[in-house]
Structures are given as structure tokens and as C-alpha cells.
Amino acid sequence: MSKTQSLQFVRHPHPAPLAADKRAELLKNPGFGRVFSDHMATVRYSDSQGWHDARIEPRAPIPMDPAAAVLHYAQEIFEGLKAYRTEDGGATLFRPEENARRFQQSAERLAMPILPEKVFLDAVDQLVDIDRAWIPEGDGSLYIRPFMFANEIFLGVKPSSDYLFIVIASSVGAYFKTSAPAVSVWVSQDYTRAAPGGTGAAKCGGNYAASLLAQAEATRHGCDQVVFLDAVEKRWVEELGGMNVFFVFDDGSMVTPPLGGTILPGITRSSLITLAKDKGIPVREEPYSIQQWKADAASGRLREAFACGTAAVVTPIGTVRSPDGEFTIGNGGSGARTEELKATLVGIQRGRVADKYGWIHKVF
């Protein structure tokens, strides 16, 4: 079998999907990442057969050998994107091709096989189609989690010869539980997320494992998210544990840290850069130091800051805390520019604002 074919997904519908009334109960207040749909997409890979055995099947535990390579050397990558319910009862995805491409780049960095873009997109489309009833009404969405892991039963340290690609879906509301108008962030001084030459630009599970202690420290200090500084000078703001960051200045311009291999090239980040530029807002992708952040917040040159990502959407940052003390941005809440960009982005994602970029992918 060729390694680049597009595959036919065989459907094995769930014999007993969750009853509609129970599902409706779960969808009332799903939170983030705890409510799962009835099905999953699975595709297998082996060096000898290439990609094969594509299925849509009931979501269920996966039998694993304790010697499966991922359990030892963490050869795993994932993606995150959302399906939205449209007013006419259909479902759409936001720039899923970008997720498919980033998945390929992550695979390359982790020495994994490259999943054809079409197989990635078909798996997502088919899962959203069969589990369409799990897309919440209103502000909620169906968070799609494609992932792939090394499944060879072998303890030698080398790229695995077998992989499993799976897509699951989770009905979600807002990522942050806080009802505050903006989130607070903790600047990690002891831990960094990624070093030059490392895996910072890949969406691999290991990056998140390495971030957990810093995130726990942030939580202990009453903060919603951790901010990572660069690993070399411990000076330049890189990104948050699970989102990119933007700064808005009094002259109307914006700054976001440049993609240099140590931060995740966010699809929300790139979309916001495009939207801002089209609105005539100058956006600079340039290094911004933690000292400058503090000084600009104090002088009032910095008006707003926000986090962005698939899960976070656009979330204002109000307070920055570190062992040296804390400072507030603007009035500590959201700002006009943050709200304007969020409204345009969410408007396009939900079909309320014309999509002149071709970002919306219709599922059905």
C-alpha cells in the first residue's frame, strides 16, 4: 500500500450512543475537556503498510502494551481545533488545513511519519459529521483533538515503526473558569518551556509535560496561566503555557513575539496578525522583554495585552505577577482593541462576519 494515499474511512456507528436527554444535560455547562462525544476516528501506520485501517468507531479505551514506545520516550504530537454550529444547522471548522500542516511539521520534528493532509481533514470532517449533535448551542463549540503516538512494542530508543492516529471530540465552553474581566499571569523565573534547537515549535505532549510544574506554580500564586521567558537570556517574553501573547500600545500598534523555533506558531496568532493589518493596525513581530512590559505598563505606553489560541480564543491579560511583585495593564480588565479583534475573529469563526479570507471550512 502506498504511504501517501487518501483513505476510505469505514464507519462503525456506536450501537448505543448516549441518550439525547443525557447529552443535553452534559452540554448545558460542559466546561473544558471533560465531556466527550460518542465516536473517534482512528488510522494506523506501520513502516511496512503505511497509513491504513481508517475507521470511525465508538470512542473507547485503547488497548496498549506496557512496552508501547510512547509510554517510555513520549513520541507523541497533537492538534486542537474547534467545530462551530452555524445558524442553518450546519457545522464549520476554522482553518483546519493549517492544523493539518502544523501536524505534519510536528511529526517531522518528532521523527514521525507524515499524515497526508487529506486524511487529517477527512478524519476531522467525518467525526464532526457523525457527532454533530455534540456541538453545543450558543457560545460553546466542539473541540477536536487529533493526536498521534508511537505504538511499537520496543524499548530501544529510536523512531517507532508503528503509530496510531486518533481524533476525539469534546463539547466545550470557555477555557478559563474565572469570571474576572481579564486573566492574571505568572512569570516563571525558574523554568523555561523550550530552548533553541528544541521542540518549542512542535505541538508535542512533552512540551506540556515540561510546563506543568511552572503552571502549578502560577496556580499557587493565584494566576490563571504561566508566562515563559526565553531559555537563553531569561528576558524575552515567549508565550503562555497554552497560548500566544499580544501587546497593544498607546500609538495603536501591536507587538507579538517572533516565531523563532521556540514558540508555537499559533493559527489564532497568525489570523489576528492578518485581521489587524487589514484594519490598518501596525503589527510588529519582535522581541519584547519582561522589563519593558513592566515599564510600559507603568508609563501607560502599554494599553492592553491579551492571550490567544484555539482554547483561549482572545483573552485579556490584566495582571502580571512574579517573585519581584506585580503590575497591572491598563485598568486591569479588557481593552477596546482586544475586544474589537476578538469580535472580528469570533464573528468570522461563527459565520456572523463575512469570511473574505477563505478560512471557513464547511463540514456539512
Residues contributing to the site for ligand COI (CB under 6 A):
80, 242, 309-311
Nearest distance in Å: CB 57, ligand PLP = 26
Q: What are 51's three cell numbers?
A: 497509513
Cell 477527512 sits at which residue?
Answer: 122
Indicate which of ligand PLP, ligand COI, none lies near residue 303 (CB less than 5 to 8 Å, by partner kind). Answer: none
Indicate which of ligand PLP, ligand COI, none lies near residue 200 (CB less than 5 to 8 Å, by partner kind). Answer: none
Compute CA distances 221 → 157, 241, 283, 334, whole Å: 38, 15, 32, 21
| Nearest residue (CB) to ligand PLP, 110 versus 267 | 267
- Per CB under 6 A, contacts with ligand PLP among 121-180 are none
The one-letter amino acid code at 125 reads: D
Query: Does residue 234 have an active-site annotation?
Result: no
Q: Tell me the per-residue interface mask from 67 to 96 with ligand PLP, x by CB under 6 A, - otherwise.
A: -------------x----------------
Q: What are 282's three cell numbers?
A: 501596525
Q: Which span (61-69, 134-142, 145-153, 264-272) binds ligand PLP, by CB under 6 A?
A: 264-272
Among 309, 316, 318, 330, binds ligand PLP (CB under 6 A): 309
- Give the span between the Cα atoms of 335 and 241, in whole angstroms: 22
| Closest-CA residue to 171 (of 138, 134, 145) | 134
- Give the span between the Cα atoms of 315 and 317, in whole angstroms: 7
Among 264, 290, 320, 345, binds ligand PLP (CB under 6 A): 264
Indicate which of ligand COI, ligand PLP, none lies near residue 82 (CB less than 5 to 8 Å, by partner kind). Answer: none
Indicate which of ligand PLP, ligand COI, none lies near residue 70 (CB less than 5 to 8 Å, by partner kind). Answer: none
**Where would I find the beta strands (DSSP E) of the chain?**
10-11, 39-46, 50-58, 76-78, 81-85, 91-94, 141-150, 162-172, 183-187, 225-229, 237-240, 244-249, 254-256, 283-285, 302-309, 313-322, 325-328, 360-362
Indicate which of ligand PLP, ligand COI, none lies near residue 244 (CB less than 5 to 8 Å, by partner kind). Answer: ligand PLP
DSSP-derived secondary structure for 250-319: TTS-EEE---SSSS---HHHHHHHHHHHHTT--EEE---BHHHHHHHHHHT-EEEEEEEETTTEEEEEEE
> Which of the residues 3, 28, 118, 203 is marked catalytic?
203
Residue 239, interface with ligand PLP (CB under 6 A)? yes
Q: Which span (32-40, 261-269, 274-282, 329-337) binds ligand PLP, by CB under 6 A?
A: 261-269
> Which residues lie near ligand PLP (CB under 6 A)?
80, 239, 242-244, 264, 266-269, 309-310
Active site residues: 203
